[in-house]
Each structure stands twice: as structure tokens, then as C-alpha cells.
Amino acid sequence: MTTAKVSPSKQRRARKAFRANGAYHAAGIAICLFFLAPFVITFLASFRHGTEARLPPLPPWPTNGLSIDSYLSLDTFGAGIWQHTINSLLVSLATVVLTVAVSLLAGYGFSRYRFPLKNVLFVLIIATLMIPFQSILTPLFIILAKLGLNNSLLGLTLVYVTLQLPFSVFMMRNAFDAVPKEIEEAARIDGARDLRLLVRVLLPLVLPGIATVAIFAFLNAWNEFLAALILLSSNEKYTLPVLMMAVRAGRLGAVNWGAVQAGVAVMTVPCLIVFLLLQRYYMRGLMAGAVK
């Protein structure tokens, strides 16, 4: 019935919609390619043979068959790639856990409690964002040395958490501010108090905020170079960015580009995984239906 007769105006509209959709998707695909190209080129290049890796990257894919030479040679730097990856993972994950725990509680406090000098304290915390952390590296180094935490991954984690907290507290306060007070009051009437209130009722509602804080904490800790270089002194404690510096510096003037490509690939994968895991919380509007 519907296929028997299609009016000309309907056809015209269908053609117009097809053209508009086509342009829309073509533009989208072009932008995607533009952003994905560097990753693809790096991944493909990391699987070239040793000699081929030094040549200009055209065509970007391995021409002499796949090989994991680059990864094997990457492993010869420092204390082995596994050791450094584990170092980086330990520092980054500990940074995420501590940052989320502290900023969750601090954000809740700043959002919900009334106490003297609340806004002054909050502004003070935010104001520390204006201090370039490079400028306080020397005092940080001295403090860590006094605490016996220099050249330790724990010390580095604490520095990362400190640097990450102002932004995270700010994020979490906003996240809690967006949760209507009535939900909390309803939960109090229902008998949820303190920690149970926070975990059972509020935590799911501020999950997008937590995801954001976690992603930022992970990425910043994972990619941080300067503090790691200065605060860590023994070879087997280095995190991946420091190792990459050593790889890129090369040996006797010759840079092993294959190893560099492999290192970049190793560093990128965890970031992608973290983002893909958390992005659905990052995007989702969880508050729908709570009030109004």
C-alpha cells in the first residue's frame, strides 16, 4: 500500500534528507579520520622491522611483514618495560583512588555543610591552581626528603594527589550542588545517615563527577614527566614518561624510532581503556526523574 504510490513531494523530501544526512556523515567521518590518523600510524609503525622503522612513515603500514622487534628493543631500556609500566600503573591508580576519596568528601562538605570561612577556604583551594607547580618543585623535593619519601612511588603519588585536588574538589562540589537537597532530606527521613547516605544515595548521583575526576587524575598522573624525573632517582622506579625520555634520547646519538613508536603505543593504550570504561558515566545525565 505504501510502496504503491509515492508522491513527488515525498520523494523530493527523501532525496533532500539523504543529501543532508550524507554530508553530515561524511564530515563526521573526515573529522574522525583526522583524529585517529596519528594513533593508527603510530600503532602500525610500532610493528615494523628494526631497519624499516627508521625510514619515513610512507606508507604508514609495515611493508616487510609484522614484527615485534620494536617492543623487544623497548624492553632493553631501563629496568624493562613491565617494571616501568607497573610503576606508572601503581602511581596512577593510587592517585585516582586517593583523589576521588578526598575530593568526594571535601566536595560533599563544601556543598552541604555550613561552617565559618567556608568560601574563603574554597577560594584558597581553587587559588592554588594559579601556582605553576614547577615553581614549587624545589620545596616539594625538600619536604619529601624530610619525610623520607624522596625516590619513592608513594611520595610521587602524594604529590600528584596534591596537584590534582583543587580541580577535583571544585568538580565534586559542583556535582553535589547539582543534587537537589530534597533527595538528601528524603533519604534522611528514610533513615539513611552519614556514610550510608553518601554511599547508597548520593554516590550514584555524583558518578558523572567522579568519572570526570578519575579520568583527569589518571591521565595527569600517567602522563606527568617533570615531577617524576626530579623526585625519582633510581632507575627501577622510573615511570613510563621518564623511560620514554631515555628511549627518545637514544644511544650514542642514534634514536631507535621503532622503540619510540612502541613506547607511545604502550603509553596510549591504558588511557584509552580508562576513558572508554568511564565515558558512559561521564556522559550520562543521571538526574533525570529525580525532581520535577
Partner 1 sequence: MNKNMTDTGVVLTDIRKSFGNLEVIHSIDLKIAEGSFVVFVGPSGCGKSTLLRMIAGLEEVTDGEIEIKGRDVTDLDPSDRGIAMVFQSYALYPHMSVRDNLAFGLKMAHTPTAEIDARVAAASSILKIDHLLDRRPGQLSGGQRQRVAIGRAIVRKPDVFLFDEPLSNLDAELRVSMRIEIARLHRELGNTMIYVTHDQTEAMTLADMIVVLRDGRVEQTGSPRDVYEDPANAFVAGFIGSPRMNLLNAEWAGDGYVLTGGQRIASALSASLLKPGERATFGIRPEHLSVSMTATAESLRAKVDFYEYLGGTQFLYCQLDDGQAVVAEHRSPIAIKDNEVVQLTCDPGNRRFFDSSGLRLR
Residues that bind partner 1 (CB under 8 A): 180, 182-183, 185-193, 196, 200-201, 204-205, 286-292
Backbone φ, ψ for residue 23 (5° rounding): -60, -40
Of the pair 216, 281, the CB lying nearest partner 1 is at 281
Nearest-approach distance from CB 186 to partner 1, in angstroms:
4
Of the pair 89, 187, the CB lying nearest partner 1 is at 187
Nearest-approach distance from CB 268 to partner 1, in angstroms:
33
Backbone φ, ψ for residue 33 (5° rounding): -60, -45
Nearest-approach distance from CB 87 to partner 1, in angstroms:
37
CB atoms within 10 A of CB 31: 10
Q: Which of these, 275, 259, 281, lies nearest to 50 by C-alpha position?
A: 259
Task: Calculate the CA 81 to chain-centre distance.
Answer: 21
Q: How far apart are CA 105 and CA 273, in angstroms?
A: 27
Cell 544526512, residue located = 21
Nearest-approach distance from CB 184 to partner 1, in angstroms:
8
Of the pair 190, 236, the CB lying nearest partner 1 is at 190
Q: How far apart are CA 240 and CA 245, in angstroms?
A: 9
Of the pair 202, 265, the CB lying nearest partner 1 is at 202
Query: In whole angstroms, how far apart are CA 136 and each of 29, 71, 78, 130, 143?
Result: 44, 36, 28, 12, 11
> Based on the number of CB atoms within 10 Å of its own CB, is 187 exposed (0-12), middle (13-18) or buried (19 or more)?
middle
Nearest-approach distance from CB 194 to partner 1, in angstroms:
11
Nearest-approach distance from CB 223 to partner 1, in angstroms:
32
Of the pair 109, 180, the CB lying nearest partner 1 is at 180
Of the pair 148, 191, the CB lying nearest partner 1 is at 191
End-to-end CA distance of the chain: 44
